[in-house]
Chains A and B, each alone.
Chain A
Amino acid sequence: MTERGISRREFAKSAVAIGGTAALAACLDRGSGTIPRGTDDLSSLPDRQHAWDASLATDDAGNHRLSRHHVLLLFDYASDGPPTDADREQVESALRDLERAYEWSNEGLLFTLGYSPAYFDRFEADVAGVDLPEPMALAPFEDPELDTPDALLHLASDDERAVIAAEEALKGNRDTVNDHEMSATFEGVLREAERRTGFVGAGLPAENQDVDGVPDSEPVPEEAPLFMGFKSGFKENQASEDRVTVDSGPFAGGATQHLSKIRLQLQQWYEQDSRDQRVSKMFCPAHAAEDKVEGVGENLGTDNGAGECPEDVVDSGRREGVVGHAQKMSRVREDGTPTLLRRDFSSTDGGEAGLHFLSLQRSIADFVATKQAMNGTDVANDSAVGQRVNNGILQYMTVTRRGNYLLPPRSLRSLPRANPDT
Chain B
Amino acid sequence: MNRRQFLASAGLAGTTVLAGCGSLSSQSTRAPPLVENRPDATYRPTHAEGMGMAGIAQAGEYMVGLSYSFPHRFWTVTGTTAEKVDIRSEDSVHLMATIWDPETEMVLPVSAGLSITIERDGETVADKSPWPMISQNMGFHYGDNYALGGDGVYQLSVRVNGMGERRLGALEGRFNEAGEATVEFDFAQNTRDQLSFEEFPDSQGERAAVDLMNMDMVPTSQVPEVSALPGTVLGTDKGSDGVYAVTWLQDAAFLADGESYLAVSARTPYNRVPLPMMSLDGTVEADSETLFEDALTAAVHPELGYHYGAIVETAAQAPSVSVDVVAPPQVSRHEGYETAFLTAPSFSFASG
Interface residues of A (CB under 8 A from B): 140-141, 143, 210, 212-213, 216, 263, 265, 267-268, 271-274, 276-277, 280-281, 285, 317-322, 351-352, 377, 380-390, 395, 398
CB distance from A179 to the nearest CB of B (A): 38
Nearest residue (CB) in A for B344 is: A319
- Total inter-chain residue pairs, C-beta < 8 Å: 125
What CA separation (Å) do A267 and B125 show in the bound complex? 12
Cβ–Cβ < 8 Å partners of A390 in chain B: 78, 330
Q: Does B25 contact A (CB under 8 A)?
A: no
In contact, A263 and B127 (Cβ under 8 angstroms) = yes
Q: Which one of B77, B124, B128, B298 has the highest number of Cβ atoms from chain A below 10 Å of its Cβ?
A: B128
Task: Please pick, from A141, A213, A273, A318, the residue contacting B178 in the complex, using a CB distance under 8 A.
Answer: A141
Task: Please pick, from B79, B132, B165, the residue contacting A322 in the complex, using a CB distance under 8 A.
Answer: B79
In contact, B279 and A318 (Cβ under 8 angstroms) = yes
Q: Does B19 contact A (CB under 8 A)?
A: no
- Interface hits, B179-213 → A, CB 8 Å: none
What CA separation (Å) do A279 and B79 show in the bound complex? 13
CB distance from B329 to the nearest CB of A (A): 7
In contact, B279 and A319 (Cβ under 8 angstroms) = yes
Contacts A381-B297, A387-B164 given; indicate if A212 touches B77 (C-beta within 8 A): no
Cβ–Cβ < 8 Å partners of B4 in chain A: 210, 216
Q: Does B83 contact A (CB under 8 A)?
A: yes
Nearest residue (CB) in B for A139 is: B161
In contact, B330 and A389 (Cβ under 8 angstroms) = yes
In contact, A140 and B329 (Cβ under 8 angstroms) = no
Interface 0/1 of B250-286, CB less than 8 Å to A: 0000000000000000000000000001110000000
Task: Please pick, from A140, A272, A386, the residue contacting B162 in the complex, using a CB distance under 8 A.
Answer: A140
Q: Which one of B81, B129, B161, B165 has the highest number of Cβ atoms from chain A below 10 Å of its Cβ?
A: B129
In contact, B88 and A271 (Cβ under 8 angstroms) = yes
In contact, A321 and B330 (Cβ under 8 angstroms) = yes
Task: Please pick, from A277, A320, A387, the residue contacting B83 in the complex, using a CB distance under 8 A.
Answer: A277
What CA separation (Å) do A389 and B111 show in the bound complex? 8
Q: Does B327 contact A (CB under 8 A)?
A: yes
CB distance from B37 to the nearest CB of A (A): 23
Task: Please pick, from A140, A285, A382, the residue contacting B161 in the complex, using a CB distance under 8 A.
Answer: A140
Task: Please pick, from A272, A274, A276, A377, the residue contacting B164 in the complex, using a CB distance under 8 A.
Answer: A377
Nearest residue (CB) in A for B142 is: A389
Cβ–Cβ < 8 Å partners of B330 in chain A: 321-322, 384-386, 389-390
Q: Does B238 contact A (CB under 8 A)?
A: no
CB distance from A399 to the nearest CB of B (A): 12
Contacts A210-B4, A381-B164, A384-B329 given; indicate if A268 touches B128 (C-beta within 8 A): yes
Cβ–Cβ < 8 Å partners of B8 in chain A: 216
Nearest residue (CB) in B for A387 is: B112
Q: Does B218 contact A (CB under 8 A)?
A: no
Identify the 7 closest CB pairs spanning chains A and B, nearest first: A387-B112, A318-B279, A384-B327, A321-B327, A384-B279, A141-B161, A321-B79
CB distance from B238 to the nearest CB of A (A): 20
In contact, B80 and A321 (Cβ under 8 angstroms) = yes
Q: Does B335 contact A (CB under 8 A)?
A: no
Having A141-B178, A268-B144, A377-B164, one finds 10 other A-B pairs with CB under 8 Å, namely: A141-B161, A271-B85, A277-B83, A318-B295, A319-B326, A319-B327, A322-B79, A388-B161, A389-B277, A395-B113
Q: Does B131 contact A (CB under 8 A)?
A: yes
Cβ–Cβ < 8 Å partners of B277 in chain A: 321, 384-386, 389
Q: Does B76 contact A (CB under 8 A)?
A: yes
Cβ–Cβ < 8 Å partners of A377 in chain B: 164
What CA separation (Å) do A317 and B111 show in the bound complex? 14
What CA separation (Å) do A352 and B124 show in the bound complex? 10
In contact, B279 and A273 (Cβ under 8 angstroms) = no
Q: Does B174 contact A (CB under 8 A)?
A: no
Cβ–Cβ < 8 Å partners of B83 in chain A: 272-274, 277
In contact, B85 and A272 (Cβ under 8 angstroms) = yes
In contact, B164 and A318 (Cβ under 8 angstroms) = no
Cβ–Cβ < 8 Å partners of B113 in chain A: 141, 386-389, 395
CB distance from B306 to the nearest CB of A (A): 13
Q: Does B65 contact A (CB under 8 A)?
A: no
Task: Please pick, from A267, A280, A385, the residue contacting B128 in the complex, using a CB distance under 8 A.
Answer: A267
Q: Does B314 contact A (CB under 8 A)?
A: no
- Interface hits, B198-246 → A, CB 8 Å: none
- Interface hits, B312-327 → A, CB 8 Å: 326-327
Q: Does B171 contact A (CB under 8 A)?
A: no
Task: Please pick, from B79, B88, B295, the residue contacting A382 in the complex, using a CB distance under 8 A.
Answer: B295
In contact, B327 and A140 (Cβ under 8 angstroms) = no
What CA separation (Å) do A265 and B8 show in the bound complex? 20
In contact, A320 and B327 (Cβ under 8 angstroms) = yes
- Interface hits, B157-182 → A, CB 8 Å: 159, 161-162, 164-165, 178
What CA separation (Å) do A351 and B122 show in the bound complex? 14
What CA separation (Å) do A143 and B159 show in the bound complex? 10
What CA separation (Å) do A386 and B327 show in the bound complex? 12
Q: Does B7 contact A (CB under 8 A)?
A: yes
In contact, A384 and B328 (Cβ under 8 angstroms) = yes
CB distance from A391 to the nearest CB of B (A): 9
What CA separation (Å) do A390 and B8 show in the bound complex? 32
Q: Which one of B3, B295, B330 has the highest number of Cβ atoms from chain A below 10 Å of its Cβ?
A: B330
What CA separation (Å) do A389 and B3 show in the bound complex? 28
Task: Please pick, from B3, B144, B161, B279, the residue contacting A383 in the complex, using a CB distance under 8 A.
Answer: B279
Task: Please pick, from A212, A319, A322, A380, the residue contacting B111 in the complex, using a CB distance under 8 A.
Answer: A380
What CA separation (Å) do A122 and B93 show in the bound complex? 54
What are 17 residue pairs bridging A and B, where the CB atoms are less than 8 Å apart in the complex? Answer: A143-B159, A212-B127, A271-B88, A321-B78, A321-B330, A351-B3, A380-B164, A381-B297, A382-B297, A383-B279, A383-B326, A384-B328, A386-B111, A388-B112, A388-B161, A389-B277, A390-B78
Q: Does B348 contact A (CB under 8 A)?
A: no
CB distance from A330 to the nearest CB of B (A): 20
Cβ–Cβ < 8 Å partners of B77 in chain A: 321
Q: Does B115 contact A (CB under 8 A)?
A: yes
In contact, A398 and B115 (Cβ under 8 angstroms) = yes
Cβ–Cβ < 8 Å partners of B90 in chain A: 216
Nearest residue (CB) in B for A265 is: B128
In contact, A143 and B79 (Cβ under 8 angstroms) = no
CB distance from B121 to the nearest CB of A (A): 15
In contact, A265 and B127 (Cβ under 8 angstroms) = yes
Cβ–Cβ < 8 Å partners of A276 in chain B: 78, 81
Cβ–Cβ < 8 Å partners of A385 in chain B: 277, 330
Cβ–Cβ < 8 Å partners of B295 in chain A: 318, 382-383
CB distance from B301 to the nearest CB of A (A): 17
